[in-house]
Chain A
Amino acid sequence: MKAMAPVDDSAIISFDSVTKTYPTKSESVNALDAVSFKVERGAAVAIVGPSGSGKTTLLNMAAGLDFPSQGSVRVGGVLTSELEREPLQKFRNEMVGVVFQQFFLIDHLSVFQNVMVPLIPREIPSAEKSKRILDSIAKVGLADKADRLPSELSGGELQRVAIARGLVGDASVILADEPTGNLDSKRGSEIVGLLVAESRERRKTVLIATHDLRVLDRVDGVVYLEDGRLSKIEGRGVRNA
């Protein structure tokens, strides 16, 4: 891992003995089992593990999209499981920017309209909103495709639109789930570069769930998961809780 910009000592994301259990018809499955670690502000950290190791569940918890069965998740000092509906919406809208594994773009909306979604509840003048949306689209290299529909874009372009939407809200924490999945190495490298640049240049905390080992050379720290358990922590910007 490369030593890049220094990271703050203060932890912005904290997982404390997080266990997540999903009931099935015959038994309960532990997606996460007593996982504890802290991510420091401004760090770019990869969460690595095979399929089914709990990476997505962990990211969803940091995003306030899912909640632990036991233990606690704090993001920016906020205990996500204790948030009521409105503060939770505000948290999802302002604190975290999420890049989903399957993009989750709305297929009948243009690139511009898709990227606009996180800004809809914000009380920002519409000219300022438009500028931020276009800046965000330009940042991912799709300035000339703002009025296209998702069906007119390639897989790599869809991923970049998803990233533009994750960045447009200027959230403190960016969470990306398998951002290089299904992309060739060149496109994958560009995508990771975009995300890591947010950490280096804008002091955003970036958490990337991946099984792509090429990502590890670009981030500050790595969290290894195996069968829902934390197996190892490496590098900077992340430490045991």
Chain B
Amino acid sequence: MRRPRPLDAVSIVFAGFIFLVLLSQLSAHVLGQAVLSYQPKGSAALTQVQNISVILAVSAAALGLAFGGAVLLITKKRLTLEIDVYRANGLPATSALRLMLNYHPVRPLEWLVGAAAVAAVADSVFGLDAMIPLYLAACFGALLLGWVVFLTFSMFGRRGFEEGRGRVG
């Protein structure tokens, strides 16, 4: 069985938050429709529901970004070890980055495509403004890519392996 890669778990967390935001918007949309069916002239109430929905969605997105960023930090040890293996074997930084993007679910961004597809479907079926989940997916994508690029080049910016490894034995 394939062992999970460090960024697999992060991708799942990101996808979870995207669907949470989508769900909150969907719930608000359904609630708004219900309000309108009971009170045909309840546009003020509908606007209020929509405003609260946007606030909730943005809050969940911000929480997701903060939480996702924290989860990314947990992957640092395993990712830097992998980058160190490439560095110790004499690979240039660009080759190492290409490998990192190939071997981890960053380049395909499966979760981003999945979330975008679900958001688009929800948008067409329910007439929902699904842009917040899509923006969030784009932010997560940028965060993941930025993290891998940052780690790779910061590790390759070091000349030796003095910090830690040289002290053993």
Tell me if A89 and B91 are in contact (CB < 8 A). Answer: yes
Closest Cβ–Cβ distance, residue A85 to chain B (whole Å) = 8
B85 cross-chain contacts in A, Cβ below 8 A? 104-106, 117
State which of A93-101, A193-201, A233-241 sits at the interface with chain B: A93-101
Q: Taking CB as reference atom, which chain A residue is nearest B160?
A: A66
Tell me if A92 and B3 are in contact (CB < 8 A). Answer: no
Q: What are 18 residue pairs bridging A and B, where the CB atoms are less than 8 Å apart in the complex?
A: A22-B166, A22-B167, A31-B166, A31-B167, A55-B169, A66-B162, A92-B87, A92-B89, A98-B89, A100-B88, A107-B3, A117-B86, A121-B91, A121-B92, A121-B95, A149-B2, A165-B89, A178-B169
In the bound complex, how far is the Cα of B160 from the Cα of A89, in angstroms? 11
A51 cross-chain contacts in B, Cβ below 8 A? 169
Closest Cβ–Cβ distance, residue B45 to chain A (whole Å) = 52
B160 cross-chain contacts in A, Cβ below 8 A? 60, 65-67
B99 proximal to A (CB < 8 A) = yes
Closest Cβ–Cβ distance, residue A92 to chain B (whole Å) = 4
Q: Of A117, A165, A178, A209, which one neighbours B91 at CB under 8 angstroms? A: A117
Tell me if A151 and B3 are in contact (CB < 8 A). Answer: yes
B5 proximal to A (CB < 8 A) = yes
Given contacts A89-B91, A91-B90, A117-B85, contact A108 B169 (CB under 8 A): no
Tell me if B3 and A149 are in contact (CB < 8 A). Answer: yes
Q: Which of A72-110 contact B (CB under 8 A)?
A: 85-86, 88-94, 98, 100-101, 104-109
A20 proximal to B (CB < 8 A) = yes
Q: Which of B69-91 contact A (CB under 8 A)?
A: 78, 81-82, 84-91
B165 proximal to A (CB < 8 A) = yes
A151 cross-chain contacts in B, Cβ below 8 A? 3
B168 proximal to A (CB < 8 A) = yes
Q: Taking CB as reference atom, which chain B residue is nearest A22?
A: B167
Mark each residue of chain A from 156 to 186: 1 if its CB lies under 8 Å from any CB of chain B, else 0.
0000000001000100000001100000000
B165 cross-chain contacts in A, Cβ below 8 A? 56, 60, 65-66
B103 proximal to A (CB < 8 A) = yes
In the bound complex, how far is the Cα of B168 from the Cα of A54, in angstroms? 7
B168 cross-chain contacts in A, Cβ below 8 A? 56, 101
Tell me if B169 and A90 are in contact (CB < 8 A). Answer: no
Mark each residue of chain B from 12 to 37: 1 if its CB lies under 8 Å from any CB of chain A, else 0.
00000000000000000000000000
A4 proximal to B (CB < 8 A) = no
* Nearest 10 CB-CB pairings of A with B: A93-B90, A56-B169, A92-B90, A66-B166, A65-B161, A55-B169, A118-B89, A108-B5, A89-B90, A66-B160
B92 cross-chain contacts in A, Cβ below 8 A? 86, 89, 121
In the bound complex, how far is the Cα of B156 from the Cα of A92, in angstroms? 13
Sample of 12 further A-B pairs with CB below 8 A, known A22-B166, A121-B95: A22-B162, A60-B161, A65-B88, A66-B160, A66-B166, A67-B159, A92-B90, A98-B88, A105-B85, A108-B103, A117-B91, A120-B91
A57 proximal to B (CB < 8 A) = yes
Mark each residue of chain B from 83 to 114: 1 if its CB lies under 8 Å from any CB of chain A, else 0.
01111111110010001000100000000000
A52 proximal to B (CB < 8 A) = yes
B88 cross-chain contacts in A, Cβ below 8 A? 63, 65, 92, 98, 100, 104
Tell me if A53 and B169 are in contact (CB < 8 A). Answer: yes
Closest Cβ–Cβ distance, residue A96 to chain B (whole Å) = 9
Q: Of A22, A31, A55, A104, which one neighbours B84 at CB under 8 angstroms? A: A104
In the bound complex, how far is the Cα of B160 from the Cα of A31, in angstroms? 16
In the bound complex, how far is the Cα of B161 from the Cα of A177, in angstroms? 15
